[in-house]
Amino acid sequence: MSNILPFRKKSAAEKSKGKTLCANNHHKWKVQTMRKFDVREGKLVTEYRCQRCGKLKTKLL
């Protein structure tokens, strides 16, 4: 016979884990590439990525 896996419904806390902060603009930014040169602007650029949701943010130096 095969193994039977017990399935259960995810709780509200498990469904929204890590998403509620980003939805309210409280991201957890981490530097992805530091001081990349932007040819169009002619300036250095630091690129940030949110650890929870993956959103990108760039900052000109």
In a domain, 14, yes or no: no
In a domain, 37, yes or no: yes
In a domain, 29, yes or no: yes
pLDDT of 11: 87
Number of domains making up the chain: 1
Where does the pLDDT of residue 12 fall: very low under 50, low under 70, confident under 90, or very high at 90 and above? confident
Name the DSSP letter for residue 51. Answer: T
Q: Decide: 44 and 37 in contact? Cβ < 8 Å.
A: yes
Q: How far is it, in rounded angstroms, from Cα 41 to Cα 27?
A: 26
Q: What is the residue range of 27's domain?
A: 22-60
Q: What is the pTM of this model?
A: 0.61
Angle at 12 between CA 24 and CA 26, to 5 degrees: 15
pLDDT of 4: 83
Q: How far is it, in rounded angstroms, from Cα 2 to Cα 6?
A: 13
